[in-house]
Each structure stands twice: as structure tokens, then as C-alpha cells.
Chains A and B, each alone.
Chain A
């Protein structure tokens, strides 16, 4: 029963959705502070190469995770400085970050006499429980059979939700994203809140990136993440800036990405659909979801932070 196509597809969707959860929750936190970071793709790649390299050098997955978090935070600091302190266009800065990060990760993967490209990971994330309850019918593979980061992603989404809506810092964060002038008059340090959350978002994006070469395909290849960073930005809107919804949105896209393999195994006539068409499914889904959610009157209730993307000058008159 646990080998049925449905169970296999769901399990695979959870795996493919996990890095998207990290990146999406990270971008939600960043955008809740009013900063649009289009550099998610670049940040994920930098986190991926840093995480893979650290594990490759040390043999420790923990160090790999720490390295990806730090690299993501440090890399997004560039965007924080440009958009908060220098107040440049966040679109331009974010896109530059993606271009830079893509090139940097690719370069680091190929640099040196003994490049990372093609090297297998020295360790990888595997199911934390094998046998026992993980073999129970249906709930075994669905609930207990995953690697540790799947559960960390669940905790991350729940914790982010609690943080946003139940803590004082979360209140400051939401206020800064909605109306920085009001937040500042209420005694909130707008720049500080923005810096912290851009970097926190970057750290989560870095972690999401590292999941690819350390769990999904345990080797280094050029751009191991595909277009996951861009999907994450779309998922933020689909999740309407709420971390819990990001969980479901990410799994939905994980399933869409997995569908092509499932259909291949189903035989005629499904296997006749060209793979290139199937590979488009997640992106088409993203476009449809965007249009359905953001068109007309519904957009108002989506919950986009009102000050998203707008630089804040205190002494503006």
C-alpha cells in the first residue's frame, strides 16, 4: 500500500516543497517588514553552495546548515544596506542580487584546481526514522518517513506565524511593513527592524537552497535549485503573506513539480505527453494562481504590506 503512486507522489511533493517552505517563509518575513527582496533566487544559490561546501569540507551536515544560514543572511545584507540605508529601488537591488548570486554560486562551484562540480555530497539528509512506525500504512511514509528538515520546515512555518501575530516584535514588524512613519512615531526603530528581518529572510532562503544539494540530489551541479527562488516569490502572494498558508502552497507546488514523473510511470496515454510540457506545470499554476488571487476586488484583502517596496525617509515632507 505504501508503494502506491499516490503515496509516492505525496512523499515526493513534501520533499520538493520543503525548500520552498523555507524560502517562502523567509520572503514573507522580509516582505512583512516592507522590503521586497527579488534576490531570493541568488540568495538560495549562495546558501546552497556554502552549505554543500561546508559539509564537503567537514563531513558535518550541521555545519552545512549553519553555513547556509550564515551565507544567506550575509548575502541578503547587501540588499538590506542598498534598500534601507541607501534607499535605492528595491526591484533593481533585488534583481542585481539574483544575478550576482547566480554567478557567484556557479563560480564557486567551478573554482580551484579541485572544483565542487560533480562531487557527491559527503553526507545527506535521510529519513530520521527507518522501519517501525515509518512503515505503518499510509501515515508511516506521510508523517514519520521524512528527513529532519521537513519537520524543521513545519516548525519554521508555525513559529513564524506565532512570531508575527502573537509577539511584540511581530507587531512591530507588521507595523513597519504597513506604515513605517506611524511605527517610528510609536517608538519602533524602523531601520533596525528592517535589517533584522531582511537578514532572517535571507538566512531561511539560504537554508532552502542548501536542501537541494544536501537532500534532494546529493551532489553539486551548476544551479541545483532550478527556479525555486522565483517560485517562492510567487508563493508569498499565493500564501497571502501568512506563514501557515506557505506550507500548503509550497506542497501544492511540490506536487505540481512531481506530477510529470508520476504521469510518466502511469503508461499510455499519459506518458505520451511531452516532458517539456509537464515541466511547465508549476509555472503555469503559478501564473494562474497569481491572476486568480490578485485580480479585481480580491487583491485588497490579500494582505500585502501597504509599505512594501517603498523606501522610508523620516524627514520627508
Chain B
């Protein structure tokens, strides 16, 4: 199938890149052949995105050679990379929200004349979409499109410039399993035409399904490259992590306690004033983990805001351990025993400019030992903070320096330490392991499970299906602000969840 003498499409040699002293790429070699899907596998922070951004001309390497179709190149900007036929679909899409689909396709395209003819553009966009099975309305503005549709526009944008190499950075992270399958068939069509695809992922089963070859990165270095056919998922996992994985295990325990969080017909407005949570009812009992699945943007954020008091619901009720807190402010929710791990851990969860010790005292500071009457006790922050840092294994803390200097995993440990120390009755966590490496992920998942065995009711909102399946006793699925299905852990599979996440109500009774 692959001829070793043919010219490589992309040949990266000994690439180095540092960010503020952090080595993101350290002597990385990477080779892409024409017409292949080449998976780039690695944990978050392994340097995959950095390598891709270098190839796409966004970052300049500190050292190393880039050879495209046998010719050494230097990319000064994405413009140069596009001219060489290399384009990237970034994890955070690079589309101008206020422009139409057609305008986004035309943007920066140098083969077009000085004038822009909207009709021509729209016709081209429609034709291209039909050809590659990527239907999208060319007159729609980007902000009106779903995440999946936006991704199609990103791919069309590259095809409109006839890119020979398409880099897809974690493209399936925002898709339902069904949408992912359709993306995979588009990828096949592209490689059949002789284009090459770099498929970045950390999901082993997808890599196994769609790629021809796979390169694995760990901590900024390339640790191996093999043909997918020869790769066992277990081996890939070991290459990725550097050791065998011990997945957290949930003690099977069906005895349910008192309802700690009771939500009845809750309606919460979204940012634009429209209703984002449309009459949701569920409960979380003491000692159980309830997972909330859903493609992002289906009301998860607004639901969390409504539950923790950040946004006043328009109707319905929220009851914490028997106390109605629907109309109360955030402080009252905290007093009733609610702990919250927001998605945005630095900013909403922690105050970036304060020290780690101060951040650890940020919720309990109104009480002893942090306060005496109306006065703060600075010494208490220091000593209590020191204890917590040790107890929760928060690494990298330099006393007196702001917490924002810690790594993502340690930030999350600090946040969890603060919230868990309150001995909450209810813990609401949103994507608590997003962007964390495997070690930190393990630590976070284990503390969530410890809370569960302590009798806390946990509401876990996540886009990571594997995480939801591993931790939850029950799962509810949000679609367009409504609960479209509820499954017990035993009934739940990724496929069923995927169908529900796409809005297909469950026909099988749970």
C-alpha cells in the first residue's frame, strides 16, 4: 500500500518549541505520506496541538526542519502554510462569527478577484458541500450554526483552497458518536482523492477505526510510530501514558440515601434571553453520582448556573436537603452545603491573582479559624493552606506567588480541596478532568468517588462519555435544554448515549 521510496508529503525533523520555558515539543520527528490518515495520539498537554500549529504556520518552531513534498520550507504565517497546501481545523474553531458561511470561505482566499460576488460564492459553497457530504447553508452566519455545522464549514474552508493536507485537531470532541462516523467517511473520501489527513485524538477506538498509521506523543516527545493494523489498543495506551492504567472503580452499591438535591420543572434563561433550560426535573440522592451527558451548548451551563444560584430561574424549584433555595443567592446555596467545580477553573473557580493559600480559604473565610468577628486571621490562611496543600498533594506551590502559575491538574486539586473541605451535601462538577493529564485525572476522579462514599450527592456534568460511564450511578441526557433520557449505569452504553445526545428520545424503556 505505501511505497517507501515515494516523496513524503510532510517531513518534520527535530522540531523544538518552548512556551515561557515549558517544553511543548522536544526534538519531534513526524512523517506524513500522501493519501493516508495519520493519527496523532497523546494525552492532553503531550504537544500534539503545538506540533500541528507549527505545521499550520501558526507557531514558529524554535529549531528544526520542515520539508514539504521534498522541499525545505519556512512558514511565517498560516498564509504560507495554506499556500503550500496545508490547512488546519483548530480545536477552537477559527471562523468569524458575524460573517456568513460563504464570506468565511472567501476570507483570505487569494485566487478570488478584488470584488466579492456573493452569488458566486454561495453557489461554490453549496456545490463543494454536496460533493463532500458536508451540507451547510452558505447564507447562514456562523453564530447561527451548531458546533457540528461549524466544523463542516472549517473543513469546507480548507477544501475551497484545495488543501492537500488537512489537520483535524480533536475533531470528534464536539461531536456525537453518529456525527463522528459521518466525519470519518468524509475523511475517507478525502484520502481517496490523494489528500492526507492528520487526525489528532486521544480516543483509542477512533484512532483504531479510522487511521492508517499512528504516531504517539508523550510529554513533548514522539514516542513511537506504527501501522494501525499492528497496533493493539492496550499497547497504544501504554505508549501514551508511559505506564499501565489503573482506572478508578466505582463500588457497586444500589442502596440510595435521602434526596439531597431535588429539581422540579426548572427553567433557566440563556445569555440571549431565550430559555436554555426548559423544564427539567430530577433528583440526586445521598451517596450517588448522577451524570449529565450532552453535546456542549445544550443547556448544561445554564442548568449549573441555575442550580448554584448564579442565575435566577424563571420558574421551577431547586431544593437542597429539604431547603428551597430557588430564589436565594450564591452564598445561601453554599451555606446549605453546595459545592461547585465550574468548567472554567481559573477565573470562576479560583482567583488567578491570589495565592494558593488565600484561594483555599476563599469559601470558608467568613468563619473560624479564618475569621474572628469581622477580622481576618492571615496566619490561619497560611497554616490551614499548608495543611491542605500537603493533604491533597497540590504540587508546585511557591508561598506568596499567585495560583495561576500552577499546572491545570494542580489547580483542579486545589479547587477540589477547597470544595470538599466544606463537607458538602451536594457536589456539582462540570468537566472536572478536562485538559488534565492521566495522573491528575485519576486523582480528581478518585476524590469524586470518595465524596460519593462519604454520602455526598454528586452531579457530574461532562462531555467525556468514558468519564460519565466510569463514574455515574445514573445518567441523564440533556438535549436542547430538556432531559431526553435517563439511564442507569447498567443500561448505559456509548451508543445509546450518543443517540440520545443527538436528540433521539429513548424508545427502549429503561
Which residues in A have some Cβ–Cβ distance to B below 8 Å? 166-172, 174-175, 178-179, 181-189, 297, 300, 306, 314-315, 317
Contacts and interface: CB of A to CB of B under 8 A. Distances in A.
Contact of A183 (B59, B88, B108): B108
Contacts of A181: 94
B475 to A, nearest CB: 33
A92 B464 CA distance: 44
A181 B96 CA distance: 9
Interface residues of B, number: 33
Interface stretch (B109-117, B245-253, B258-266): B109-117
Contact of B78 (A166, A178, A185): A185
Contacts of A297: 273
B103 A171 contact: yes
Given A186-B78, A186-B94, 13 more contacts: A166-B115, A166-B116, A168-B115, A171-B103, A171-B116, A174-B98, A182-B94, A185-B56, A185-B78, A186-B108, A186-B109, A187-B109, A306-B98
B508 to A, nearest CB: 42
Q: Which of A167, A178, A179 has the most CB of B within 10 A?
A: A179
A178 B96 contact: yes
B19 A186 contact: no
B82 interface: yes
B104 interface: yes
A306 B97 CA distance: 9
A174 to B, nearest CB: 7
A186 B107 contact: yes
Nearest to B271: A300
A179 B143 CA distance: 13
A187 B79 contact: yes
Interface of B: 19, 56, 58-59, 77-79, 82-83, 88, 90, 93-99, 103-104, 106-110, 112-116, 157, 272-273
11 contacts: A166-B116, A167-B114, A167-B115, A168-B112, A171-B107, A179-B94, A179-B95, A182-B95, A184-B78, A185-B78, A189-B77
B495 to A, nearest CB: 34
Given A175-B96, A178-B99, A317-B19, A185 B273 contact: no
A185 B56 CA distance: 8
Contacts of B83: 187
A167 to B, nearest CB: 6
Given A171-B103, A174-B99, A175-B107, A187 B114 contact: no
A142 B382 CA distance: 76
B83, B114, B272, B273 — which one has the most chain A CB atoms within 10 A of its CB? Answer: B114
A315 B50 CA distance: 10
A18 to B, nearest CB: 29
A183 to B, nearest CB: 7
B143 to A, nearest CB: 10
B169 to A, nearest CB: 12
B26 to A, nearest CB: 17
B465 to A, nearest CB: 27
Nearest to A316: B19
Contacts of A174: 96, 98-99
B58 A314 contact: yes
B59 A187 contact: no
Contact of B107 (A166, A188, A189): A188
B90 A185 contact: yes
A174 B113 CA distance: 17
B99 A175 contact: yes
Contacts of A183: 96, 107-108
Contacts of B107: 171-172, 175, 182-183, 186-188
A182 to B, nearest CB: 4
Contacts of A188: 79, 107-108
Nearest to B80: A187
Contacts of A167: 114-116
B79 A189 contact: yes
B100 to A, nearest CB: 10
Given A168-B114, A171-B103, A182-B96, A187 B78 contact: yes
A145 B79 CA distance: 50
A298 B35 CA distance: 50
Contacts of A315: 19, 58-59
B108 A187 contact: yes
Contacts of A172: 107-108
A136 B106 CA distance: 48
Given A171-B103, A186-B104, A186-B107, A178 B98 contact: yes
Contacts of B94: 179, 181-182, 185-186
A171 B106 contact: yes
Contact of B88 (A170, A171, A185, A317): A185
A174 B110 CA distance: 16
A186 B230 CA distance: 37
B67 to A, nearest CB: 21
A46 B37 CA distance: 59
A241 to B, nearest CB: 11
B78 to A, nearest CB: 5
A276 B79 CA distance: 56
Nearest to B87: A185
A175 B94 CA distance: 11
Contact of B114 (A169, A185, A306, A317): A169
A299 to B, nearest CB: 13
A297 B103 CA distance: 26
A102 B77 CA distance: 39
A185 B96 contact: no
Contacts of B99: 171, 174-175, 178
A300 B109 CA distance: 29
Contacts of B93: 182
Contacts of B273: 297
Nearest to B60: A315
A204 B77 CA distance: 31
Nearest to B83: A187
A229 to B, nearest CB: 28
Contacts of B112: 168
Contacts of B59: 314-315
A15 to B, nearest CB: 34
Contacts of B106: 168, 171
A167 B116 CA distance: 5
A300 B271 CA distance: 11
B52 to A, nearest CB: 12
A170 B113 CA distance: 12
When A and B form their complex, which 4 residue pairs have the shortest distance between CB atoms, in order from nearest?
A: A187-B108, A186-B108, A187-B79, A182-B94
Most chain B CB within a 10 A radius of its CB, from A167, A171, A182, A185: A185
Contacts of B113: 168
A168 B112 CA distance: 8
A179 B106 CA distance: 15
Contact of A179 (B19, B78, B97): B97
B33 to A, nearest CB: 25
A166 to B, nearest CB: 6
A189 B19 CA distance: 23
A286 B98 CA distance: 27
Contacts of B108: 172, 175, 183, 186-188
B96 A184 contact: no
Contact of B97 (A170, A178, A187, A314): A178
A186 B103 contact: no
